[in-house]
Amino acid sequence: MKGEDLLRKMSDIEDSDIILSETSCKRRPRYAAWLYAAAALLVGLGVFAAVRLINKPEDEHHAYVPTAAPTEPVTEFPTDVPTAAPTETEPLSTQATPPEMLFFTGVKEYREFAEAAKLGEEEFESFLDEHGTYYMNGICSKQDAVNALKTLNSIPTPLLAGYELWRIELSSYNDRVRLIYRSGAHYISFVFTISCSDEDAESVIRGTEHELTEIDTGDIGELRYLLRVMTEEGTSPNAYYYSNIHAHKTFLITDIGEEELLALLRGCRFITVEEYSESADR
């Protein structure tokens, strides 16, 4: 048995123990003991002085102003306590049909798919068999492939300097195309709503419960608006934005800073996935 096996076995711990680790309170910092001691001393002095004041003549009352004892703020974690018995993950059901999500890891896979869609029906079926139904999910026939390609190519595909289109996802079931770009350790993810919408920033702000801040995009005319989702500091390594690019409502997730993102968008061209893949070939 190895450390790796033991680490994997940690997945079998009780659900309540996982949740508990989020509800445990912060321990008071070590200096808190000193703070408390100081506070207690001050309170003690205050009580002592107050007693003395009470017993002193009237003209000496101005000599003492009581000081409030300092209090330490205690940060609590959200109290997300489980209400039911623990459970375990079970083997996957083979009967259920997953939602229709088509994935391409990289432009090369997209090109292979696009080329296959030009083949005859039988050859295309062989292509599907070779690639399995998991990644070709939602594609049962050549016509499905043609439709998927048409949808993907209706989306404005950013050509971002220094970034590579690393993953393409088509989720027909929820009307989304996600394009993930990466450059070294950084990434930007664009989640486009396939159907078109001309909504403006104000209606987005009105329609969401998130706190949003409008970012001045200056000369980036391709963006109808750019709204940053305000998140609690330290809760996520990413920044989230809403935008509308070429009439497609867009959700952006990235780990780069706002200025860097704006600079990238400013220098960005929007083309089709097909054009992108051709430019990558060159």
Partner 1 sequence: MDDSRIIDLFFARDERAIEETNNKYGAYCFTVANNILESREDAEECVSDTWLRAWNAIPPKRPAVLKAFLLKIARNISLDRLKAARAAKRGGGETELAIEELGECVAGTADVFGELMEKRISGLIRDFVHGLTERERAVFVRRYFFLESVKTVAQRYGMSEGSVMTQLSRTRKKLKDILEKELN
Residues that bind partner 1 (CB under 8 A): 1-21, 24, 26-30, 80, 82, 84-90, 92-94, 96-99, 101, 103, 166-167, 169, 173-174, 180, 182, 185, 187, 189, 235-238, 255
- Distance in Å, CB of 67 to partner 1, minimum: 26
- Distance in Å, CB of 235 to partner 1, minimum: 7
DSSP, res 221: T
If residue 203 lies in a helix (H) or strand (E), which one and from where to where?
helix 201-207
Q: Which is nearer to partner 1, 88 or 130 (CB)?
A: 88
Q: Which is nearer to partner 1, 3 or 57 (CB)?
A: 3
Task: From residue 230, give the alpha-carbon distance in Å to each of 38, 211, 251.
Answer: 38, 5, 14
- Distance in Å, CB of 249 to partner 1, minimum: 14
Q: Which residues of 26-36 are buried (b: 16+ CB within 10 A; e: fewer)?
A: eeeeeeeeeee
- Alpha carbon distance 36, 69 (integer Å): 9
Q: Which is nearer to partner 1, 184 or 221 (CB)?
A: 184
DSSP, res 165: E
Q: Read off the tokens for 29.
A: 């910092």
Handedness of CA 92, 15, 80, 20 (dihedral sign): negative
- Alpha carbon distance 251, 226 (integer Å): 10
Q: Read off the tokens for 268.
A: 């960005």
Strands 176-183 and 186-196: antiparallel
- Distance in Å, CB of 58 to partner 1, minimum: 48
Note whether 153 and 273 are within 8 A (CB): yes
- Distance in Å, CB of 48 to partner 1, minimum: 32
Q: Which is nearer to partner 1, 5 or 281 (CB)?
A: 5
- Distance in Å, CB of 82 to partner 1, minimum: 4
Q: Which residues pair with 223 in a beta bridge?
A: 245
Q: Read off the tokens for 229.
A: 């989702």
- Distance in Å, CB of 33 to partner 1, minimum: 12
Q: Which is nearer to partner 1, 98 or 162 (CB)?
A: 98
Note whether 162 and 187 are within 8 A (CB): no
Q: Which is nearer to partner 1, 55 or 95 (CB)?
A: 95
Q: Which is nearer to partner 1, 64 or 240 (CB)?
A: 240
